[in-house]
Amino acid sequence: MSKDNLNALDGFISHLDSIFSVTSYDAREIIATFHLEMGSGLAGTKSSHKMIPSFVGPPRGKEKGRYLVLDLGGTNIRVLAVELDGKGNTTLSAGSRFVIPQEMMCGTGDELFDYITDCIQVFYGQHCVGRQRTYDLAFTFSFPVEQRSLVSGKLIGWTKKFTAYGVVGKDVVVLLSEALQRKEMGFINVVALANDTVGTLVAKCYSDPSCDMGVILGTGTNACYREKAARILKSPGLAPLGEMIINIEWGDFSQLKMNIYDQDLNRASHNVDKQQLEKMVSGMYLGEIARRVIVEMMTQGLLFREASPSAFSKEYMLHTEHLSLVARGYDFFADFGLRDVSEVDRSTIRELCRIISTRSAKIAGAAIAAVVAWMYVNIESYHTIAIDGALFEKYPGYQDHIEGILRELFGERAKRIKLALVRDGSGIGSAIIGAIAVSDRPSGSGHDSGRHRS
Ligand code: BGC
């Protein structure tokens, strides 16, 4: 590469560094706007934080029983059997994972729910036949729903890769129960509906009562936390319940500065102007942001000069896993037909992956800081934050960046915030929520969908 080209490359990387940076000042601004939006969301006025009451409070650790769990939210459907011993211990006694074909995510709601029940049927055939006459199933549904009770909620809008037609505005528990009936599996009762963040918080809280926040950093991103019911101004009827978990739906936060790559990605997405934070942070999008930068650099002759930008022309062909590989010292070049990649190009790609993933982690860190400071202004007590998702678990250095920004913001007090990885939290937590729902049923009622507890 000529000296001029190297200078142009340096200039481009510094420009990227600046348009993807999150300074301490930016993080403080994120906290301040998060607080305004959280307040508005709780009051029921206009806000990009939906602040959805989950109709469940922290568990007592005494919930017992065997529950089936259906977990729908990312690229897979998972069906699990979870045992709760009533002493804070959980056992995942069986679990199956089914890939959701793209055409199911984007077809009709009936097709999607029929496919889901087929998965339950396969699981049932392998692990349940002949054991019991009826089964209680908790439904982890990781999309924004307007929750009306522990076991009902209308889909507000699809996120991530889903667009299935005819589901928005409908109660997803009804759709699932109808699909179970269609497949003659009416002996499976849907007893609870939970967001994955709520499941994750509840799963950790079952054995560690200091846990007050649940976060997902995976294909999508979101968080929930324990709120005083009296502060949920939009639902005054909840006040006597004491405490309730609020699903923030922070992925839809819309007050971040989007750069040109974010704007282009947003414009080309199926949910334009929605899920802006998610599009800058979550695993579904980091590869696509990188791909857009790579195409721009190739067009300007700053990267892979021997190849044509068409090598990276297909949207979403570059995945966050590719970036993660680079961060681990490997590369993804062969997957894109690139051979004999120069050391300069390799180091450019390393820089690019670092810049994009660091911004994601810092925004996530600022968002976590905002929620912790909302609960306890001076971080006077210890907090455990339950976190699940491949980005947090597997991306090298991701957790360090979150911890770094918490230290920048809170100094020594950041030591009071513990980030705990909770694998399978969303499924196990839903089972616990299922147990709460069942124990709340008035005896002899079969099932009751309207009750809630804290
Ligand atoms: C959804 C949330 C979910 C998150 C993580 C987002 O796209 O809106 O409900 O918790 O993904 O799965």
Q: What is the pLDDT of residues 44-95, one digit of tens each?
A: 999 999 999 999 999 988 999 999 999 998 889 999 999 999 988 999 999 9
d(CA 373, CA 153) in angstroms, rounded, equals: 29
Q: What integer is the mean pLDDT of 307-319? A: 93
Name the residue of 160, 163, 277 whose CB sits within 8 Å of the most ligand 1 atoms, as the mutation to test its pocket.
Answer: 160
Distance from the Cα of residue 188 to its chain's centroid = 27
Return the closest-CA partner of residue 387 out of 340, 420, 357.
420
Please tell me the predicted confidence (pLDDT) of residue 381: 86
Return the closest-CA partner of residue 168 out of 156, 184, 179, 177.
156
Q: Whose CA is nearest to atom 8 of ligand 1?
A: 143
Return the closest-CA partner of residue 211 out of 36, 67, 44, 425.
425
Q: What integer is the mean pLDDT of 303-311? A: 89
DSSP 108: B
Choose between 405 and 4: higher pLDDT: 405
Residues with CB under 6 A from ligand 1: 73, 142-144, 159-160, 195-197, 216, 220-222, 249, 251, 278
Position in ligand 1 atom list of the atom nearest CA 143: 9
Q: What integer is the mean pLDDT of 23-41? A: 98
User: Residue 227 above 60 pLDDT?
Assistant: yes
Using one digit for the tens of pLDDT, what is the confidence trace for 128-157? 766 678 999 999 999 999 999 999 999 999
State the first-to-last Cα distance of the chain, in angstroms, to the nearest integer.
64
Q: Which residues pair with 287 in a beta bridge?
A: none
Using one digit for the tens of pLDDT, what is the confidence trace for 416-446? 999 999 998 999 999 999 999 998 766 554 4
Return the closest-CA partner of residue 218 out of 431, 427, 394, 397.
394
Please tell me the predicted confidence (pLDDT) of residue 446: 46
Position in ligand 1 atom list of the atom nearest CA 160: 7
d(CA 170, CA 161) in angstroms, rounded, equals: 19
* 3-class secondary-structure state, position 451: coil
User: Residue 261 above 60 pLDDT?
Assistant: yes
User: Residue 241 above 90 pLDDT?
Assistant: no
Rounded to the nearest 10 degrees, the angle between the axes of helix 343-375 and helix 283-299 is 140
User: Residue 225 above 80 pLDDT?
Assistant: yes
Using one digit for the tens of pLDDT, what is the confidence trace for 147-184? 999 999 999 999 999 999 999 999 999 999 999 999 99
d(CA 81, CA 448) in angstroms, rounded, equals: 22
Residue 260 Cα to ligand 1 midpoint, Å, equals 24
Q: Which of the four pLDDT bands, split at 50, 70 and 90, describes residue 380?
A: confident
CB 433 within 8 A of CB 139: no
Q: Whose CA is nearest to atom 11 of ligand 1?
A: 220
User: Residue 379 above 70 pLDDT?
Assistant: yes
Q: Which residues pair with 66 in a beta bridge?
A: 83
d(CA 312, CA 216) in angstroms, rounded, equals: 29
C-alpha pair distances (Å), 173 with each of 116, 152, 156, 382, 451: 12, 6, 14, 36, 15
Residue 284 Cα to ligand 1 midpoint, Å, equals 11
Q: Which residues pair with 227 in a beta bridge?
A: 244
Please tell me the predicted confidence (pLDDT) of residue 368: 98
In DSSP notation, 142-199 reads -S-EEEEETTEEEE----TT---BT-TTSBHHHHHHHHHHHTT-TTEEEEEEE-HHHH
Q: Which of the four pLDDT bands, split at 50, 70 and 90, describes residue 453?
A: very low
Q: What integer is the mean pLDDT of 224-235? A: 95
Please tell me the predicted confidence (pLDDT) of residue 447: 44
d(CA 452, CA 454) in angstroms, rounded, equals: 7
Residue 226 Cα to ligand 1 midpoint, Å, equals 18
Domains and CATH numbers, the chain: 58-207+425-440 (3.30.420.40)
Please tell me the predicted confidence (pLDDT) of residue 168: 98
Active site residue ranges: 78, 142, 196
Q: Which residues pair with 64 in a beta bridge?
A: 85
Residue 250 Cα to ligand 1 midpoint, Å, equals 9
Q: What integer is the mean pLDDT of 31-36? A: 98
Q: What integer is the mean pLDDT of 179-198? A: 96
Q: Whose CA is nearest to atom 6 of ligand 1?
A: 220
Please tell me the predicted confidence (pLDDT) of residue 131: 67
In DSSP notation, 5-23 reads HHHHHHHHHHHHHHHT---
